[in-house]
């Protein structure tokens, strides 16, 4: 073998070993995660909800200007998480989740079980997006199941869902992505009553033991929805003040807890629900976000039942607006504030 051929042979062996090593490292990272069954204990409960607690806008002058603040408290129903099947001790959740139910987390290969207890006064269910389930675990009214996969007041039902690779983020989407769950007995009114929450799926390579992603410092979930609190018989003018243009159930900058530090990598999980009026354009002042690693923007489009996760590097300290950019939605209070400490 000539000297030149020896060099080519050695270079080829080097690259082959490099590729095999890289593959082994990648497989080891993904293989470090052992799939498991994650069990959640979630109840539906009737509550009173305030769309604008401690609002800075509740002065007499503002009340005259903003019909949406004339009444801010309504009877709602929420998904609330407990520590075990006794449903005696509630789990705390971040204040910024607002009216949303608890975050359900999973990793491909996991089984998710939800023990659902209906402590409200109507029949409800839990229907997931993005996960694999049988008809008996769909949480939807259908003749062949006969309503068995929902719970009447006082009843329980246990759902079993599988997390497949299809539910996981692709390589350019980051380490986690968002899906929805909601009650589906009456698909419209159940949502207006407040029965929805996020499912966050993390890739095997990025997952901590609790299912949270390792590739970000903070995660926030925000739902853009116009809650219709109007009653039958109201005129259009009367209805307007009862249409709550809310982010996580809060209006006029009263959503708490959207706080981060300069340098944090933040993943925002955005959700949309509702009807044809729910065309939303979340906009961040002061920052931009990366959408699926493909492009950068500061406005994202949401339709009803849209779900999208975007990444932000918090590099511009200050208190910034975060709102829907649809004109009349801004006027009606679909806005919040987020803070970057620096």
Residue 192, helix vs strand vs coil: helix
The pair of three-digit structure tokens given for residue 52, joined into one six-digit string? 């604008």
Tokens of 17: 């070993």
Q: Is residue 150 part of a domain?
A: yes
> Which residues are paired to 105 by β-bridges?
200
CATH number at residue 297: 2.60.40.420
Chain segment 106-146, per-residue pLDDT in tens: 999 999 999 999 999 999 999 999 999 999 999 998 777 66
Between 17 and 219, name the one with better pLDDT. 219
Strand pairing report for 335-341 and 318-324: antiparallel
Closest residue by Cα to residue 221 from 322, 133, 293: 322
Strand pairing report for 37-50 and 73-82:
antiparallel
Residue at 9 is within a domain = no
Residues 6 or more apart whose Cβ sits within 8 Å of residue 29: 204, 205
Which of residues 10 and 65 earns the better pLDDT score?
Answer: 65
Tokens representing 173 are 């989407």
Residue 333 and residue 67 in contact, taking contact as beta carbons nearer than 8 Å: no
Res 20: pLDDT: 41
List b or e across 145-178, with b for residues whose CB sees 16 or more CB atoms inside 10 angstroms.
Answer: beeebbbeeeeebebbbbbeeebbbeeebbbbbb
> Does the residue 20 lie in any domain?
no
Q: Which of 4-18, 25-39, 89-103 has the highest mean pLDDT?
A: 89-103
- What CA–CA distance (Å, rounded) separates 253 from 241? 17
Residue 179 has pLDDT above 70, yes or no: yes
Q: Which domain holds residue 85?
A: 37-341
Residue 265 in domain: yes
DSSP string, 229-270: ---TT--HHHHHTTEEEEETTB-TT-----EEETT-EEEEEE
In a domain, 30, yes or no: no
Average pLDDT over residues 304-333: 97
pLDDT of residue 18: 44
- Which residue(s) pair with 198 in the sheet? 180
Model confidence at 48, in pLDDT bands (50, 70, 90)? very high
Instruction: Flag whether the pTM goes above 0.75.
Output: yes
Whether 74 contacts 249, CB under 8 Å: no
**Would you say residue 225 lies in a domain?**
yes
Residue 32 pLDDT > 70: yes
- C-alpha neighbours within 13 Å on the C-beta side of residue 134: 10
CA distance 178 to 244: 24
- Count of structural domains within the chain: 1
The answer, yes or no, to whether residue 82 has pLDDT greater than 80, is yes
Question: Per the domain annotation, does 3 fall within a domain?
Answer: no
pLDDT digits (tens, 9 = 90+) for 243-285: 999 999 999 999 999 999 999 999 999 999 999 999 999 999 9
Report residue 148 CA to chain centroid gap.
27
- Three-class SS of residue 217? coil
Residue 262 belongs to some domain of the structure:
yes
Per-residue pLDDT at 21 exceeds 70: no
């Amino acid at each position: 073998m000539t000297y030149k051929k020896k060099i080519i042979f050695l270079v080829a062996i080097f690259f082959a070993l490099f590729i095999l090593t890289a593959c082994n490292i990648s497989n080891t990272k993904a293989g470090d995660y052992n799939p498991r069954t994650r069990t959640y204990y979630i109840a539906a409960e009737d509550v009173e909800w305030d769309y604008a607690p401690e609002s800075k806008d509740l002065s007499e002058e503002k009340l005259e200007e903003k019909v949406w603040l004339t009444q801010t408290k309504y009877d709602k129903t929420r998904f609330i998480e407990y520590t075990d099947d006794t449903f005696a001790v509630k789990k705390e959740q971040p204040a910024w989740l607002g009216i949303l139910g608890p975050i359900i987390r999973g990793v491909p290969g996991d089984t998710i079980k939800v023990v659902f207890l209906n402590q409200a006064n109507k029949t409800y269910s839990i229907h997931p997006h993005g996960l694999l389930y049988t008809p008996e675990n769909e949480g939807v009214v259908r003749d062949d199941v006969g309503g068995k996969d929902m719970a009447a007041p006082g009843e329980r039902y246990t759902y079993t869902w599988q997390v497949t690779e299809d539910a996981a983020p692709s390589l350019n989407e980051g380490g986690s992505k968002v899906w929805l769950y909601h009650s589906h007995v009456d698909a419209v009114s159940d949502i207006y009553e407040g029965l929805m929450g996020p499912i966050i799926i993390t890739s095997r390579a990025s997952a901590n033991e609790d299912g949270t992603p390792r590739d970000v410092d903070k995660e926030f979930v925000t739902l853009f929805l116009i809650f219709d609190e109007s009653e039958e018989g109201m005129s259009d003018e009367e209805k307007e003040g009862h249409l709550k243009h809310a982010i996580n159930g809060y209006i006029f900058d009263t959503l708490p807890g959207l706080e981060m530090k300069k340098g944090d990598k933040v993943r925002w999980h955005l959700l949309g629900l509702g009807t044809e009026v729910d065309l939303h354009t979340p906009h961040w002042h002061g920052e931009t976000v990366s959408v699926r690693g493909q492009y950068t923007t500061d406005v994202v489009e949401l339709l009803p039942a849209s779900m999208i996760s975007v990444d932000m590097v918090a590099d511009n300290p200050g208190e910034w607006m975060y709102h829907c950019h649809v004109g009349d939605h801004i006027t009606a209070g679909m806005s919040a504030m987020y803070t970057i400490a620096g």
